[in-house]
Amino acid sequence: MAVALPRSDDLDGLIERALEGNHMAVARLLTQVERSLASAAAVVTATAAFPRRGRAVGLFGPPGVGKSSVVAGLIPAIRATGATVAVLANDPTGAESGGALLGDRLRMKSLSRDPGTFIRSVAARDPLRSLNATTLGAVELMTRIGFDYVVVEAVGAGQSDLGTRLVADTNVLVLVPGLGDDVQAMKSGAMEVADLFVVNKADMPEAPQTARMLRQAAKSLTQPNGWTPPVVSTSAKDGTGFDDLMASLAAHAATRHDARPAVESELAGDVIADLVGYEVVRRVRRTLATSPELRARAAEVQGGGDDCIHAALVLADRLLADPDAA
């Protein structure tokens, strides 16, 4: 069963109210982006005439480094400049409900009361990716309907976090003191994606040494435009470093005359493949939800006549050969 697309006049009304600063309208537009690829495409088309004036900042890094605390500290620094900010916090998907764990939004609840701040938790439905595949559409929307900064917080899980480079104008790698030799191990992946580094929990004794190691490593990561990723130390405990982080973000923005296109040409293939995979999985799950053969196979497994792996392989082969077969 096809997903009903939003009517163009409904979208126009929501966009008009969103441009006026109505956060409920913004939330409803984001819901449309998250529903399906077709629905997201309708929203992107409806906002295409508006200039992409906002800048997207992606925060990524291992679990436990305090990305949420960095976001919470960055919001007031952005607002102090008079700029507006939207936060898209990609949360792990709940195993049972499939919904986002709303910890980020709860922790930032007081900040979200500010009319110039919008915070949304987004479920990262794909276990192989830290960013929801529809985050691209969400970033496109938010940068076109009046937000000066769109901060995308990734879940945090190894190479999957490199997905921030697909949506962000500036990529921020958040780390903590005490890395040691791990800095060298990271150079072949995450560090090469970063436009700047944040040493969070800078109140810890090891923080200065970690910052020095990162500055040394950054010397070999100078980008073609001459930009060498700076290292900024922040502490949510005492609130220091966030003005420096804001200054570094502004300095990086100044290296480009305009906001970077949503997708650079060399990354277009990765983006399209991710979106195709997201949409195919969504459609397959919807088909299997009412599949008589799936129920029959499950009954065979429960009865000891088959196992899950072989049953899944048979169903996958049939679906690929004929999407209506299952």
- Among 125, 111, 104, 101, smallest CA distance to 59 is for 104
User: Block means of pLDDT (10 residues each) for the chain, length 326 residues?
Assistant: 62 93 94 87 91 91 86 94 91 45 54 86 55 77 94 67 73 85 59 90 92 90 89 92 96 74 62 79 85 90 89 87 65
Residues 245 and 305 in one domain: no
**Displacement of CA 64 from its chain's centroid (Å):** 17
Tokens of 54: 């906002």
Q: Please name the amino acid found at residue 7.
A: R
Give the model's pLDDT for residue 170. 93
- Among 291, 175, 196, 193, smallest CA distance to 252 is for 196
Q: Give pTM, 2 decimals.
A: 0.81
DSSP state for residue 134 in the 8-state scheme: T
- Among 140, 145, 134, 143, smallest CA distance to 39 is for 134
Give the model's pLDDT for residue 178. 81
Give domain status of residue 15, yes or no: no
Give domain status of residue 299, yes or no: yes
Give domain status of residue 164, yes or no: yes
CATH of the domain at 153: 3.40.50.300
Q: How far apart are CA 230 and CA 198, in angstroms?
A: 9
Give the model's pLDDT for residue 95. 38
φ/ψ of residue 258, rounded to 5: -130, 165
Give domain status of residue 5, yes or no: no
Tokens of 60: 């990524």
Instruction: Show the beta-strand stretches assigned E in the chain.
Output: 55-60, 85-92, 117-124, 149-153, 170-175, 196-199, 231-233
Name every residue whose Cβ is closer than 8 Å to that of residue 75 and which is 6 or more positions away in sequence: 85, 87, 108, 111, 117, 151
Residues 146 and 92 in one domain: yes
Give the model's pLDDT for residue 184. 56
| Contacts by 77-81, CB closer than 8 A, 24 or more apart | 77/242, 77/243, 77/245, 77/246, 78/148, 78/149, 78/246, 79/114, 79/116, 79/117, 80/243, 80/246, 81/246
Residues 219 and 294 in one domain: no
**Residue ranges making up the domain that contains 316:** 270-321
Residues 254 and 147 in one domain: yes
CA distances to 80, 126, 198, 271 from 230, rounded to whole Å, are 22, 32, 9, 27
Q: How far apart are CA 309 and CA 315, in angstroms?
A: 10
